[in-house]
Amino acid sequence: MPAFDEILALPLFSNRPVSWLLAGSVTVVTFIVLLSLRRLVHSYHTRFQATERTEFMEIPVEVLSRTALPFFVVVALFAGLQTLTMGDSTARVLVSIITIATFWQSGIWAGAAASAWLERKRRRSMTADRAMVGSLGIIGVIVNVVIWALVVLLTLDNLGINITALVAGLGIGGIAVALALQNILGDLFASLSITLDRPFVVGDFLIVGDFMGSVENIGIKSTRLRSLSGEQIVMPNADLLGSRVRNYGRMSERRVVFATSVTYETGIDLVERIPQMIRKIVEAQQDTRFDRSHFAKHAAASLDYETVYYVLSADYNRYMDIQQAINLRLHRELTAAGVEFAYPTQKLYIAPQPPQNSASVSKSGDAPTRAPHA
């Protein structure tokens, strides 16, 4: 085979066996040294993870621990082959191989550094700025796309491919791809809109149409909610922004309206006192601000009162605890005052009919008829 003969004729294969033995030794030693360094870095990374505080060298150590084993093989072979005599073409091929390997390993390092930084930022933002948490996921995806796009372009350029023409072709093809992926791109731009405008953040409680739940994650294509019954609700970002969203996470206080109904048999003095009783009960609760309490109307079967107050917290459980305390105390005080709570009832009054005598019956009735003779 001519091609095989040409390969054997390269200056690389004219080296003596001793030179090949030396190259192999350098390769093995280099690989062992690099592997030992990676194990040392792994041990430091494990030690840093065991501590609660964030170390200054934690991210660099984590990045170096992501060094791939194939990269060590390529570096070790390159170091070993440098001890041999070779031609210019072979040297250029080796340089191209080690350059491409370095590009891809640099992409891994850059991606690991970005992920570690974003993860550290996410942990800090969970308490300080929850809005940043949803943005970090989208930023991470964009950063990774940019990193690997650069790696691919640099690799193609190193292989001698004209990337200028490739980028121009991708621009034209991108129009066709954009038309084919309108829904996906719509969700992508919607996620960017959520990131920039921040109508809601991770942890907010949303009601969207018939669905409600707490925001767990804001992704590139969809937002995931955790409903009150436990299941996960996945909603496309475009549909979410196109809907009317009620965000209870931005609620600073809760307005509460509740009604109280008593019977018509309640004395007028008690009817007049009940709003003041309710006011004292509401004002006795912590985290509340009383607004009003009025005798609202005469209903069909009750006297109705309407009370309005504010809970100075967005926590629904806190609101229910306060309302329960108000209901219990109101029940005790109204019962002690002799007031009965009204419930739907109907009273049927039967009027007695006056007795009817025979004279009135005959006077008002028809005259008797006689049967005809046969």
Residue 1 pLDDT > 60, yes or no?
Answer: no
Per the prediction, the chain carries an average pLDDT of: 81
The C-alpha torsion from 139 through 144 and 145 to 150, rounded to 10°, is 130
Stretch 305-332: mean pLDDT, rounded? 93
The pLDDT confidence band at residue 255, using thresholds 50, 70 and 90, is very high
Residue 373 pLDDT > 50, yes or no?
Answer: no
C-alpha radius of gyration, the chain, whole number: 42
The pair of three-digit structure tokens given for residue 322, joined into one six-digit string: 């306060």
Stretch 42-61: mean pLDDT, rounded? 72
Q: Please indicate, yes or no, whether the overall pTM of this predicted structure exceeds 0.75.
A: no
132, containing H or E segment:
helix 130-158
Q: How far is 306 from 311, CA to CA, in rounded Å?
A: 16
The predicted structure's pLDDT at residue 83: 81
247, containing H or E segment:
strand 245-247
- Range with the lowest mean pLDDT among 133-142, 257-266, 278-287, 332-341? 133-142
Question: How does pLDDT run across 186-227, given as a tens digit for each residue?
Answer: 677 777 777 777 888 888 889 998 899 999 888 778 889 999
Number of Cβ within a 10 Å radius of residue 166: 14
Q: What does the DSSP assignment read for 270-324?
A: HHHHHHHHHHHHHHTSTTEEEEEEEEEEE-SSSEEEEEEEEESS--HHHHHHHHH
**Of 91-105, 125-139, 155-169, where does the model show the most confidence?**
91-105
Stretch 274-279: mean pLDDT, rounded? 95
The predicted structure's pLDDT at residue 311: 94
35 CB-near residues (< 8 Å, 6+ apart): 69, 72
Number of Cβ within a 10 Å radius of residue 187: 22
Amino acid identity at 141: V
